[in-house]
Amino acid sequence: MNWPSAIKGFQAYLKLERSLSPNSIEAYTRDIGRLFEFAEIQESKLTPESVTLSDLRRFITWINELGMIPSSQARILSGIKAFYKYMLMEDLIKIDPSELLESPKITRKLPDTLSYEDINKLIDAIDLSRPEGARNKAIMETLYGCGLRVSELTELKLSNLYLDIEFIKVFGKGSKERLVPIGGSAIKALKIWIEQVRVHNPIKKGEDDYVFLNRRGSRLSRVYIFMLIKDLAAQTGLKKTISPHTFRHSFATHLVEGGADLRAVQEMLGHESITTTEIYTHLDREYLKGTIIQYHPRN
């Protein structure tokens, strides 16, 4: 089997069997594309079936020499492991060459968080006199107020808003569905955008259920959200390097610091493992100590 055919089959598996989003499938495809690129420059052209553990170790050395950081290497190796798991399931190979492959050791660098004051400054910097002002305010309030991933925000639909009971339905990684509470500030901003501004904008066919649309009536891209945040940071003189993910991280941090239950935060963020939530919210020792003192039966 050649690489394009194997990659095409892998994409179908990710879509149909694992129900991954287009963005995740694209990321996996890009990772396998790196291995394909490496295979093509070898003296004896490597096919997907002929790759060995030794080849994969040389591949790791190669991407390391390209200057790829350990976290990026680990992500690529995760994609390769998924690819060979698929090959094994489909009986395209007899032995998984990636089974004994070790990922590089990485240190988890926590992103910057924003204070409540920082978030207010960013939202207050939005020019509400401009046509897109109401939309941008609703974006920022929803992004922070619900702790959404940027892809969850751009894919948010009107049919999944239950503002009368203060919940929204979100489809996260692997199209996993969850209900997230939404607060008063975000509800107010959404209603102004939807009921007073969005109704007067042209809407492209097939895009009518998406909450956030551009001037041409199409759903917003993730790049637009990144640029919006970057512009607001520049306007307010914020020196931190921030992204949409910073708001998700700040949302979780503020909840935990305020005494929210970790399991509840886990549910709202859509994390499969509570361990991820503990790391993500970088619980400080005082919080953990206080929890033990409060709940341990011997105290």
H-type helices in the chain, by residue range? 3-16, 22-40, 53-65, 70-89, 116-124, 133-146, 150-154, 184-191, 222-236, 244-257, 262-269, 274-280, 285-295
∠ at Cα 108 (104, 111), nearest 5°? 140
Q: Is there a catalytic annotation at residue 249?
A: no
Distances (CA, A) of 105 to 64, 72, 149, 276: 13, 11, 26, 17
Work out the number of other CB atoms within 10 angstroms of the CB of residue 211.
Answer: 24
Kindly list the distances between the CA atom of residue 152 and the CA atoms of 23, 59, 95, 177, in Å, as whole numbers in the listed order: 11, 34, 37, 11
Pick the catalytic residue from 173, 178, 222, 282: 173
CA-based max dimension of the chain: 67
For the question of residue 108 being annotated catalytic, the response is no
Given 271, 289, 296, 298, the catalytic residue: 271
Q: Which of 149, 198, 219, 254 is catalytic?
A: 149
Is 173 labeled as catalytic in the residue annotation? yes
Active site residue 254: no
Spot the catalytic one: 198, 248, 249, 254. 248
Task: Spot the catalytic one: 57, 245, 282, 287.
Answer: 245
Name all contacts of 259-266 with Cβ < 8 Å and 24+ positions apart. none
The question of whether 296 is a catalytic residue gets the answer no
The yes-or-no answer on residue 248 being catalytic is yes
The residues that are catalytic are 149, 173, 245, 248, 271, 280
